Amino acid sequence: MTKYIFSTIFALCAFTIIAQVQDHSEYLNYVGEADKAIEEERWYDAAAHLESAMRLEPGNPTNVLLMSNLGLVRLNAGEDSLALAILNDAHRIAPTSVIVLNNRAKVLQAMGHTSEAYNDYSLILNIDSTAIEPRFMHGIMAVYSGDTITAKKDFAILQRLAPDSENTAIGLAALYTATNRPFDAIIQYTKLINNNPDIEYYSGRAACYLLTEQLNEAAADIAEGLRINPNDAEFYLYRAYLNKLRYRAEDAETDLKQALKLGADPNRAKLFYKLGK
């Protein structure tokens, strides 16, 4: 399961607690132990410490932040439904808390409830229009739902608020790809690769190079992707397509079979192969 990041949120929580309950050493001790357990990915220990702190001081107003973190702890422990229930309770206590809404949106996404997650990101942006991560997630979800008008607005705002952010470049690359602007997407993927040569960015740029028939450039990105992960089915699909464009039918067949062997969707593989004719 994907590890969800707590550092910024938990730091805020700890700062607030230190400022307001300095004399409550036992409460602080539980919070500190929870923080350590989260860093070490000991999810059940973290949950136990957070719950102990809240039982110790049930009236402490900062408990809503502990509940928010507890929701992500439960999510990381594989307890999705419990995580959502905790965050629903936290939202009822603090309906305008951006932290609670953001964490609930993460849980909803993990559970596959994308429309509800999107609604939470929309609520966040109504409360704080400058929130960077929620703006990014709102825009990305809009892209994948086909709402490119909303996505354009979101990423225009991100360009103004965080022009050098990795998320801004990711969002623009996704938007340009979805709106048939592969040359513009290549610029964004190149920026991303220069800062962080992640395999996903090579995959995105390779696809755009294929769309623009920049075959040598596509071949280089495919080769780099397979160097990073020799068992990536997506790159074998790309190379099958590339080989068809280069009239290397036998090589294309070999790559297609390897992609299927590695788990590529047969219908998608067939489409890729046909496109190369």
Q: pLDDT tens digits, residue range 113-162?
A: 999 999 999 999 999 999 999 999 999 999 999 999 999 999 999 999 99
Last residue of a domain, one of 128, 159, 177: 128
Is residue 36 a part of any domain in this protein?
yes
What integer pLDDT is reported at residue 71 of this predicted model? 97
Looking at the domain assignment, is residue 70 inside a domain?
yes
103 and 218 part of one domain? no
Residues 124 and 233 in one domain: no
**110 in a domain, yes or no?**
yes
CATH of the domain at 256: 1.25.40.10
Supply the range of the domain harboring residue 94: 1-128
The verdict on 4 and 86 lying in the same domain is: yes
Last residue of a domain, one of 85, 108, 128: 128
At residue 270, the pLDDT reads 80
Residues 207, 205: Cα–Cα separation, whole Å: 5
Residue 2 within any structural domain of the chain? yes
Return the pLDDT at 11.
41
What pLDDT is recorded for position 25? 85
Q: Write 200-206 long-range contacts (CB < 8 A, 24+).
A: 202/228, 203/232, 203/234, 203/235, 203/238, 204/173, 204/177, 206/235, 206/238
Asked, for residue 151, whether it belongs to a domain, the answer is: no
Residue 35 has a pLDDT of: 95
Where the chain has pLDDT below 50, the residues are 1-2, 5, 7-23, 277
Please check whether residues 3 and 101 belong to one and the same domain. yes
pTM for the full predicted model: 0.84
| Residue 169 placed within a domain | no
Does some domain include residue 145? Answer: no
Tell me whether residue 56 is in a domain.
yes
111 and 24 within one domain: yes
